[in-house]
Amino acid sequence: MGTVPRFGENGLVARITKEFRTQNPSTVKGIGNDSSVINNIDRLTLVSTDMLLEGIHFDLTYFPLKHLGYKCVIRAISDIYAMNGNPNQLLVGIGASSRFQAEAIEEIYVGIKLGCEKYGVDLVGGDITGSLTGLAITVTAVGSVENESLVTREGARVNDLICVTGDLGGAYIGLQILEREKKIFEKNSGIQPDLSGSDYVLRRQLKPEIPLDILGKLKDKDILPTAMIDLTNGLATDLMQLCGASGVGCKIFPDRIPIDSETSRFAEDFHIEPLIPALNGGDDFEMLFTVPVTMHEKLSGIKGVSIIGHITEKEEGLRIVGDDGTNVELDAPGW
């Protein structure tokens, strides 16, 4: 075991990054220089930054450091995919208090390396510094996209179909299970956590993935979304952001929102209507996007895509339409 000061910043960086290898031709210079050098030639460059704070974004009581490193990668590159781009490089900054040994920082980087390898991203730089309180991680992702393929939140048009990938609400339910078991353990440390039957929702919280297969199928069928956003703050919040940026309204239908059976079962155990975490949970890392209504037939052949509503005029507002015809305003307390 060794403390961070024992190795020094440069020594620790060299130790934890020695196994990282570049995978993208756009990476000219990576770790080991004052700045990384990236050459995207004739493509647009995309840059996104995320910050994660201990006690706000993660609880180390139940969040393994390796999983945390992996999730940091997902959080950062998800924003690049949401603009129809490809993530290529990553920079990571870590602030750690004296209670963290060097081995703990290494464990975070094990997860970062796994994420980088899976999604073909190069770690090209970052920083490690001391912190007076807890653990803080900042991740910056750099990617690229062809000019004609860029998708923003601003392109949704009236009558466009509103679509989501995968299923929603699982990450929120996974978090509720972890918090429940933490409280039980704090009251009686002799009671072992009961996580039986919750593999899927725990994985959605602790080790999320990006729906690359579905995004690939959209490209294979020449379906270019008119607008897109990654679902990290909850469907309601993110849909409101997309509609606000596009200057439009929407109608969505609760019975069309995809919810996994495990998510539903545990939601009922917590006496929560399953639609609530699907609308207002977060960290699902699925994609919410709009496409012209003429793409309906092409979309129907893609497994993992659900059409949950359509875009309306701005004056009609943002509405949820029930089976019985009830029509209520979309609310978004957020994640």
Same domain, 129 and 176: no
63 and 202 share a domain? Answer: no
Check whether residue 319 and residue 203 sit in a common domain: yes
Does residue 104 sit in the same domain as residue 191? no
The radius of gyration of the chain's CA atoms, rounded to the nearest angstrom, is 21
Same domain, yes or no: 182 and 129? no
* Residue 44: strand, helix, or coil: strand
**In this predicted structure, what is the pLDDT of residue 39?**
78
Domain-terminating residue out of 100, 120, 148: 148
CA distance 33 to 15: 16
Burial of 263 from C-beta contacts in 10 A (0-12 / 13-18 / 19+): buried
For residue 12, pLDDT over 80 is answered with: no
135, part of any domain: yes
Higher pLDDT, 60 or 8: 60
The total number of structural domains in the chain stands at 2
Phi and psi angles of residue 285, each rounded to the nearest 5 degrees, phi first? 55, 30
The beta-carbon contacts of 34-41 under 8 Å, at least 24 apart in sequence, are 35/125, 36/89, 36/91, 36/124, 36/125, 38/88, 38/89, 38/124, 38/142, 40/88, 40/144
Has residue 219 got a pLDDT over 90? Answer: yes
Q: Residue 237 domain-assigned?
A: yes
Q: What is the overall mean pLDDT for the chain?
A: 91
Residue 1: the pLDDT is 47
Cβ burial of 209 (10 Å; 0-12, 13-18, 19+) is middle
Asked, for residue 128, whether it belongs to a domain, the answer is yes
Same domain, 227 and 176: yes
pLDDT of 281 strictly over 90: yes
Rounded mean pLDDT of 267-292? 96
Q: Are residues 317 and 215 in the same domain?
A: yes
Q: Indicate the residue among 148, 180, 211 that finishes a domain.
A: 148
Which of 124, 148, 172 is at the close of a domain? 148
| DSSP structural state of residue 261 | H
Percentage of the chain modeled with pLDDT above 70 = 90
Task: Specify whether 109 is located in the same domain as 167.
Answer: no
pLDDT digits (tens, 9 = 90+) for 41-54: 789 999 999 999 99
Q: Is the pLDDT of residue 35 over 70?
A: no
Report the range of poorest mean pLDDT among 66-75, 129-138, 152-161.
Answer: 129-138
Whether residue 156 lies inside any domain: the answer is no
Domain that holds residue 82: 4-148
| Position 259 pLDDT exceeds 50 | yes
Query: Do residues 137 and 83 both lie within one domain?
Result: yes
Question: Residue 335 domain-assigned?
Answer: no
225 and 302 in contact (C-beta within 8 Å)?
A: no
Type of residue found at 147: N
Domain annotation covers residue 176: yes
Query: Would you say residue 13 has pLDDT above 70?
Result: no
134 lies in the same domain as 170:
no
With cut-offs at 50, 70 and 90, classify the pLDDT of residue 30. low
Domain CATH number, residue 307? 3.90.650.10
Query: Is 312 a residue whose pLDDT tops 70?
Result: yes
**Could you tell me the pLDDT band of residue 198, with boundaries at 50, 70 and 90?**
very high
In a domain? residue 306? yes
Q: Which of 239, 244, 216 is nearest to 228 (CA)?
A: 239
Q: Is residue 334 part of a domain?
A: no
What pLDDT, on the 0 to 100 scale, is given for residue 181?
94
State whether the Cα torsion 128-129-130-135 is positive or negative. negative
Q: Which residues pair with 92 in a beta bridge?
A: 126, 139
pLDDT digits (tens, 9 = 90+) for 141-162: 999 999 999 999 999 999 999 9
Summarize pLDDT for 168-187 with one digit per residue, the tens.
999 999 999 999 999 998 99
Q: How far is CA 175 from CA 11, 13, 180, 282, 315, in A?
A: 36, 32, 8, 10, 37
100 and 233 fall within a common domain = no
CATH of residue 39's domain is: 3.30.1330.10
Of 34-38, 137-141, 260-264, 321-325, which range is least confident?
A: 34-38
What would you measure as the largest C-alpha separation in the chain, in angstroms? 66
Q: Are residues 40 and 167 in the same domain?
A: no
Give the pLDDT score at 267: 98
